[in-house]
Structure 1
Amino acid sequence: MSRIGKQSVLIPDGVTVEVKSQTVTVKGAKGESAYTAPTCIAVEVKGNSVFVSRTDNSKHGKAMFGTVRSLINNMIIGVSQGYKKELSIEGVGYKAQLQGTDIILSLGYSHDINYSIPEGIAVEVKNGTTVSIEGIDKQLVGQVAARIRDFAPAEPYKGKGVRYVGEQIRRKEGKAVA
């Protein structure tokens, strides 16, 4: 049985959680988020806590038990504090700039890359080499950061490319000169 699913989720001050049939709606200072739980999972709010339980002993119910609890916890953290990922761009001529709802990346290709920022995500570019991605949806923030990083992941020889701030790139030695 899931150890995570058994734990209750505390609701902090300034956050409201509503459950209507299978839809869980979380509202907070940063915005509103909704999730529809599978029918094999029951969600209820008691006082300032959210409890998740299984309605049947199916394999799917057991698999989703801890997952639903974690998703609700992530929603509560998202609407109260938000999520943030930072990317660092390194390399000669490598830079990023915002243009409306798009981010334009110059990453050493013959063309610039235009990436359309999804709704609910705030992107900030600091001095052309640091990209900050913020939002209330943990999955979406991580997905946008991973997509931008995938355009030119940091390579192991010179280290140029896009990397997460704090990410260690394992460097390789170049060719040995005789």
Structure 2
Amino acid sequence: MSRIGKKPVQVPAGVTAAVEGQTVTAKGPKGELVFVANDEVKVSFDNNAVSVVPANDSKDARAKWGMSRTMIENLFKGVKDGFERKLEINGVGYRAAMQGKNLQLSLGFSHDVVYEPPQGITIAVPKPTEIVVTGINKQQVGQVAAEIREYRGPEPYKGKGVKYAEERIVRKEGKKK
């Protein structure tokens, strides 16, 4: 039994929600998002809250129950407040800069890496060693942050590379004489 799936998702103030069959639509100050729930769960809207229940008692339906509820909750958070992911750059000569809407990264390669963000994602560089990825879709924000980190992930000896702001790099000891 899903414990998280039992709780109905309250629609926050300033957000309008609509449920049509398996489709949940949320409109808010940041934009509009749509989520189509799997046929294994039933979605209903009542008392300004969206509730999700499994369609049958199969293991597959119970597995998708809590995930569907969390996806709907993320819709409401996204259209109301949005999501952001911070990245840090460590290393001598490693830096980031904005080039119009594109992100230009100097990561020790013979060339600069230019990353073009997808539609709906905003990238900001408050400092040359800091990148902030923002958007209303949580999955898309995380994917863009992962793609930027992938260009030069943090290495364990000196900690150089692009890492998430909250990430802790487990350092290794170097060679000994």
Q: Same fold (TM over 0.5)?
A: yes
**Residue pairs, 1:101-116, within 5 angstroms:** 101-116=101-116
| DSSP 3-state at the match of 2:65 | helix
Equivalent residue, structure 2, for 1:96: 96
What code does the residue aligned with 1:71 have? M
**Residue pairs, 1:122-133, within 5 angstroms:** 122-133=122-133
Alignment partners' CA distance in 1, 2:79 and 2:94: 34
Equivalent residue, structure 1, for 2:9: 9
Cα RMSD (Å) of the superposition?
A: 1.2
Q: Which residues of structure 2 form unaligned runs of 5+?
A: none
Alignment partners' CA distance in 1, 2:175 and 2:60: 52
Alignment partners' CA distance in 2, 1:117 and 1:100: 11
Q: Which residues of structure 1 form unaligned runs of 5+?
A: none
Query: Cα distance, 1:169 vs. partner?
Result: 1.0
| DSSP 3-state at the match of 2:174 | coil
Query: Cα distance, 1:74 vs. partner?
Result: 0.9
Alignment partners' CA distance in 2, 1:27 and 1:75: 9
Alignment partners' CA distance in 1, 2:39 and 2:157: 50
Alignment partners' CA distance in 2, 1:155 and 1:97: 22
| DSSP 3-state at the match of 1:162 | strand
| DSSP 3-state at the match of 1:34 | strand
Alignment partners' CA distance in 2, 1:66 and 1:97: 40
Query: Cα distance, 1:131 vs. partner?
Result: 0.2
Question: Which stretch shows the higher mean deviation, 99-108 or 152-161?
Answer: 99-108
Query: Cα distance, 1:47 vs. partner?
Result: 1.7
**Residue pairs, 1:24-173, within 5 angstroms:** 24-173=24-173
Alignment partners' CA distance in 2, 1:87 and 1:55: 40
What code does the residue aligned with 1:5 have? G
Alignment partners' CA distance in 2, 1:56 and 1:98: 50
Alignment partners' CA distance in 1, 2:166 and 2:25: 34
Same amino acid, percent of matched pairs: 49
Query: Cα distance, 1:80 vs. partner?
Result: 1.0
Alignment partners' CA distance in 1, 2:119 and 2:21: 27
Query: Cα distance, 1:100 vs. partner?
Result: 2.8
Alignment partners' CA distance in 2, 1:143 and 1:153: 14
Q: Deviations over 1:55-78 (max 9, x none)?
A: 222332121111100000111111
| DSSP 3-state at the match of 1:89 | strand
Query: Cα distance, 1:19 vs. partner?
Result: 0.8
Moved over 4 A (4+): none
Alignment partners' CA distance in 2, 1:4 and 1:147: 30
